[in-house]
Structure 1
């Protein structure tokens, strides 16, 4: 393999009036590229004068994981969007990226992180917890984050990421593992902390926007419109410069409540699932290698099904309707 990349390319537009500090990121996973071109389009609009920055600071990182992006795969040496934190003694490429990325997150007020996913399905936004003073993810920006999730324009919003991971960690911690650093990271209490979780831990807020399936031709447009709508939501550009989302559109709000790991390479799905396919109570989702059925414990939806997941990694998530009210 050629030499690993030795830098991050970061672009910043500093408005002459003070205002919000927005960070927009893409290609945290190297093969999730919908946001890469979208960021370039926004930069071109600002450079040409077609889009005017009224206030604040806009920072954009079009390729957060250049090694994974160069290799055209999700990870370079490990998943950057899990166990994201400053590493005084970096052990791999993603540790070195984290050491540069985390200060940018900490120095921002708001994050828009652009992703995509494996299976076909519509774009959706992921937001964080409700306001709380708990130990897992204390938070105080529920209203602002909810408003941002609505503003980007998707028809589906999902909550409950880190609390769901906490449940999975309890099970994963019971496994002895193979002694590898990858397995040790998966059993670390910080596993599950990615860009938005780190952002919230530093006092800010943000959303993950899943722009559709990796190769969806509409993905770059979803990402582009989301950046513009985020800028308008924060008052950083004039509303009349942006195609606003329909405020009367129906929005489905779901809560993740379970993550199921693949235990064996012979664990198999009952059929080819797509994200947000409906599940009936007791419906057979898959079968373990020993023949044990994997059944839906509630009526709801399957999220991020991954038929290629490695043993010990996330196989799929389960979601059900949320009782949260977004305003």
Structure 2
């Protein structure tokens, strides 16, 4: 994946026959600020965990089998997954084989969450989902999030199959995100096919700002066997994101023998697969999309203008280009959108 934007410099001749409204991008949309539809879950009874590590719940079958894990609250203001884990924990759990771990990750950031300022409290000091690099973990680097990564690592290092639950700032189609290892694609396919409306399945080579949990070497090493994928369940704080998180987590657990089997519904949509090829980074404070795209939008024709960045045009590099998690208000130097080729 290239982190260079697909750009065309827009000199005067480029705009010769365009109206002023076509040259100037629309005003930047406001950050989503509506009151959360689904209130934050009360995790009081789950914070201590049941195995000596805060927020970690272990369940043993006492029979041979894989270690299955579901994680939530990588970011303190993404609590749809926490709702899902709390509901699953409220029911009796007895894996039929192997072991199960349900993990609330960034408890400190979640404890600081304020519904009056829901866009804040993604993390306390740094993004926990950019820290999963062995060299960094072994280094002297320290923060609230780094200390939590080190606390959880003995558990993560024994997990064979992991589902990480997230949500998104801007409206978007549901998607399952995986690294490039083929075993992770197969895992995401299996998980998507268990749903009537399958999430989009997107492969990428990692995040440019640092390795995510699904990129941790245990799950992404081409020669390894452990698998992981990330669910983006929809927009933060919506009931639909909570429902999608719970549905996907239950399907995942049922597929691995952690809960009783679930009926497999007839699909109403075909599964869309795409591979990220480009990361568009905002080079100026004036970066703006030409309209309010949604995550998962597929732009049919190569060369379609999607954004203006200073004097640069951002155009799609190929036909059937998917926009992956567009940030409609990117800061300079931050990712504005990832572009993916539909497979």
Q: Give the drift of 1:254.
A: 1.4
Aligned ranges for residues 184-263 of structure 1 at < 5 Å? 186=209, 191=210, 193-198=211-216, 199-200=218-219, 201=221, 203-239=225-261, 242-246=262-266, 249-263=269-283
Does residue 43 of the first structure (1) align with residue 89 of the second (2)? yes
How many Å separate the matches in 2 of 1:78 and 1:155? 32
Does residue 155 of the first structure (1) align with residue 198 of the second (2)? yes
What is the SS of the residue equivalent to 1:257? strand
How many Å separate the matches in 2 of 1:102 and 1:31? 22
Q: Give the drift of 1:113.
A: 0.4
Does residue 275 of the first structure (1) align with residue 295 of the second (2)? yes
On the 8 A contact 2:192/2:271 being kept in 1, the answer is: no
TM-score by length of 1: 0.76
Q: Relative contact order (alpha carbons < 8 A, sep ≥ 6): 1 or 2 greater?
A: 2
What is the SS of the residue equivalent to 2:306? strand
Aligned ranges for residues 61-76 of structure 1 at < 5 Å? 61-62=103-104, 64-72=105-113, 73-76=121-124
Aligned length: 277
How many Å separate the matches in 2 of 1:27 and 1:114? 7
Q: Deviations over 1:204-258 (max 9, x none)?
A: 101111111112212112111222211221123331xx24343574111111111
Task: Give the gaps of 5 or more residues in structure 1.
Answer: 132-139, 170-185, 323-327
How many Å separate the matches in 2 of 1:58 and 1:162? 28
Q: Give the drift of 1:317.
A: 0.8
Q: Give the drift of 1:21.
A: 0.7
- What residue is the counterpart of 2:305 in the other structure? 284
Task: Give the gaps of 5 or more residues in structure 2.
Answer: 1-46, 114-120
What is the SS of the residue equivalent to 1:256? strand
- Bigger Cα Rg: 2
How many Å separate the matches in 1 of 2:265 and 2:129? 28
How many Å separate the matches in 1 of 2:214 and 2:280? 22
Report the aligned-residue RMSD.
Answer: 2.5
Give the alignment partner of residue 62 of structure 2, picking from 16, 19, 23. Answer: 16
Change (3 A) 1:246 1:270: same
On the 8 A contact 1:158/1:253 being kept in 2, the answer is: yes
What is the SS of the residue equivalent to 1:35? helix
- What residue is the counterpart of 1:309 in the other structure? 330
On the 8 A contact 1:39/1:224 being kept in 2, the answer is: yes
